[in-house]
Amino acid sequence: MAQQTERYEDTQLYKVRHSAAHVMAQAVLELFPDGKVTIGPPVENGFYYDFDLPRNLTPEDLQQIEKRMRQIVQGKHEFKKTVISADEARKIFADQPYKLELIEGLEQGGLDEYGNPLDGPPDISIYQHDTFTDLCRGPHVATTKEIKQDAFKLMNVAGAYWRGDEKNKMLQRIYGTAWESKKELEDYLHQLEEAKKRDHRKLGRELEIFIFDDEVGPGLPLWLPNGTVMVDELEALAKEMETNAGYSRVKTPHLTKEDLFIRSGHLPYYAESMYPPMELEGVKYYVKPMNCPMHHKIFSSKGRSYRDLPVRLAEYGTCYRYEKSGELFGLMRVRSMQMNDAHIYCSEEQFEQEFMGVIDLYKKYFDLFGIDKYVMRLSLHGKAGLGKKYVDNERLWVKTEDMVRRAMDNGGVPYVEVIDEAAFYGPKIDVQIWSAIGKEFTLATNQVDFAVPERFDLKFTNREGVDEIPLCIHRAPLSTHERMVGFLLEHYAGNFPVWISPEQVRVISITDAQNDYVEQLAKELRGNGIRASADVSAQRMNAKIRQAQLMKVPYMLVVGDNEMQAGQVSLRVRDGSQQNNIPLAEFVARVKDKIARRAGEL
């Protein structure tokens, strides 16, 4: 059954952070009386507030703002809510143009103060504490006393476009964090320090995994040789797992005619995330943001019987999405992505088995990568979005959401439900995972499509000889190469299991006298399917070992005259352990076994 989880918005922590954002805004306006305020919501792990200020903020400003916040908190000011009319709101915020714009949206209905759709008629409410008044729905703590002085901290300042639109003015966004205790804050700050060390963008450069280049374009990663090894290993893993699970692999082009996306219904929903079309001979072409429509074409390329189902089509297809510049983030948010995509076409009777087969595949990957904390999130539609954000068929929404619930319940898989987060064509299971240091990632997805198969006239002949529309399951257990490699970099801090390490063994000579033998050993290792290199540089042995450690190579084989004469090697493992005088054949067998098993340990 679905787990009953408390909504973040209903927690005391949410109220503390929301209230801290208001206190921060008060402190900022006291420092800049002519400043203009916009919105200040709680977010994961903290809060932010966007400001239009007469100058750029400095680190010293943040210190001063934080100091003033502590003084305000000491005042034990009450947070008072008042519901007012639009005219009253306009008078209160007469010198705040961003608030006036929000009031207009509230008055017209449809959008809240954060620009999000409303389900019903809006109330215009304000919250007041001390000298500060904000247009706000709440909730807040009762008084500022509940914001503990030693449990919050201002973190940094970043640029942010008003309402996330690049056409609007760039604002200054102050990020802060707030917790219910000093220890929670200290634990969070410690985790942040660990996360900095593991930042995939930093490690990606240091370990020569990927780069971005301005001449190529933002959000378009270039995989270096080391990164390409990881990509190839992930794809080999997927091919092996999917072959064993009965998938057939396909290949589709990078672009297609506009008509395909009009037919699929993607254009009305995804146009803003797609690159603009190119026109040739009067025909518009788009680079593809997803593989689905082309897989549908492959399914419909011949007649299908119920005996042929399920049909499982898999592809690591490259897709392109025009993410906003401000939302690009290393490998986690890119514009070019290679997706671990597949589409399963099945009958209604086969749905539960196929859907849970995908969930089981998730679990196998989680075991392999040592992911022991994850949440399956059932993302449902929101009724207010029917015909806009979602396909307008309430009956099929309810039916397919119940089918997913039943499958998960029968499979004994815990999950949580989230409203208004579905795909436009059906409900889905989104998978949230946590890395070794507790950092959360959105990785995999398992989606139900009840709408698009009919648009493509997909059908199969059932046992009664009648044409029937199949259900389609979209799934991507390994996400994209980009996001998966980014996650693995941070999860392992670059200390990858040997099977996916770009360089598995480095053979190191002590003096030039062993160089030829070291080259020969590296060649022999490569002949055994082990990624090995030889370091025959003029550096001293300790410097060579240090360089291999910096590149996080799992195994270093040190060879001097004694090892060369005996046909042995001295092994130094990345974890610091050592073993001398090992026969080469014994070492090769050990490494090949770990690679074959995709072992996590060295």
Residue 154, C-beta contacts closer than 8 angstroms, at least 6 positions apart: 24, 62, 65, 66, 69, 174, 175, 176
What average pLDDT does range 113-137 have in this prediction?
78
- pLDDT at position 488 over 70: yes
pLDDT, one tens digit per residue, over 517-536 is 999 999 999 999 999 999 99
pLDDT band at 437 (very low <50, low <70, confident <90, very high): confident
- Domain identity same for 543 and 471: no
Strands (E), 139-288: 152-161, 170-178, 210-211, 222-223, 248-249, 255-257, 278-280, 283-287
- pLDDT at position 259 over 90: yes
Q: pTM higher than 0.85, yes or no?
A: no
- Domain identity same for 459 and 359: yes
Domain of 30, CATH number, reads: 3.30.980.10
Provide the pLDDT for residue 32. 97
Q: Would 266 be classed as within a structural domain?
A: no
**Residue of 318, 82, 144, 292 whose CA lies nearest to 221:** 318
> What are the two backbone dihedrals, phi and then psi, of residue 178, each rounded to the nearest 5 degrees?
-145, 140
Q: Domains in the chain: how many in total?
A: 3
d(CA 232, CA 222): 14
Strands (E), 469-521: 471-475, 505-509
End-to-end distance of the chain based on CA atoms, in angstroms?
39
3-class DSSP state for residue 457? coil
Amino acid at 462: N
- Domain identity same for 141 and 190: yes
Other C-beta atoms closer than 10 Å to the C-beta of 408 total 21
- Domain identity same for 337 and 466: yes
Sign of CA dihedral 132, 133, 134, 139: positive
Q: Would 267 be classed as within a structural domain?
A: no
What average pLDDT does range 254-281 have in this prediction?
89
pLDDT band at 498 (very low <50, low <70, confident <90, very high): very high
- Give Cα 273 to chain centroid, integer Å: 17
Provide the pLDDT for residue 116. 59
Sign of CA dihedral 418, 420, 421, 427: positive
pLDDT, one tens digit per residue, over 380-431 is 988 888 877 888 888 889 999 999 999 999 999 999 998 888 887 889 999 9
User: What integer best gives the mean pLDDT of the chain?
Assistant: 92
Provide the pLDDT for residue 384. 81
Amino acid at 222: L
Burial class (CB in 10 A: 0-12, 13-18, 19+), 375: middle
Residue of 3 and 18 predicted with greater confidence: 18
Q: Would 357 be classed as within a structural domain?
A: yes
- Domain identity same for 191 and 61: yes
- pLDDT at position 110 over 80: no
Q: Would 453 be classed as within a structural domain?
A: yes
Strands (E), 393-439: 416-418, 428-434
Provide the pLDDT for residue 17. 97
- Give Cα 498 to chain centroid, integer Å: 25
Judge contact between 459 and 404, C-beta under 8 A. no
Q: What angle do CA 582, 585, 591 make, to 5 degrees?
A: 85
- Domain identity same for 386 and 476: yes
Q: Would 420 be classed as within a structural domain?
A: yes
Provide the pLDDT for residue 424. 79
Judge contact between 177 and 152, C-beta under 8 A. yes
**Residue of 207, 252, 213, 254 whose CA lies nearest to 229:** 207
Would you give the DSSP letter of residue 149? G
Domain boundary residue, one of 155, 183, 198: 198
**Residue of 581, 550, 551 whose CA lies nearest to 565:** 581
- Domain identity same for 413 and 320: yes
Residue matched to tokens 């059906």: 426
Provide the pLDDT for residue 441. 86
- Domain identity same for 510 and 445: no
Provide the pLDDT for residue 326. 82
Domain boundary residue, one of 445, 462, 492: 492
pLDDT, one tens digit per residue, over 40-67 is 999 989 999 999 999 999 999 999 999 9
Burial class (CB in 10 A: 0-12, 13-18, 19+), 401: buried
Least confident span in 31-45, 98-112, 166-180, 584-598:
98-112
Domain span at 20:
8-198
Strands (E), 347-439: 374-379, 416-418, 428-434
What average pLDDT does range 433-459 have in this prediction?
89
d(CA 536, CA 514): 8
Q: Would 260 be classed as within a structural domain?
A: no
pLDDT band at 436 (very low <50, low <70, confident <90, very high): confident
pLDDT band at 109 (very low <50, low <70, confident <90, very high): low
Q: Would 301 be classed as within a structural domain?
A: yes
- Domain identity same for 465 and 517: no
Provide the pLDDT for residue 5. 59
Provide the pLDDT for residue 480. 95
- Domain identity same for 451 and 531: no
Q: Would 98 be classed as within a structural domain?
A: yes
- Domain identity same for 531 and 589: yes
What average pLDDT does range 440-458 have in this prediction?
89
- Domain identity same for 475 and 522: no
d(CA 12, CA 166): 34
Q: Please give the share of the chain, as a percent, with pLDDT higher than 70.
A: 97
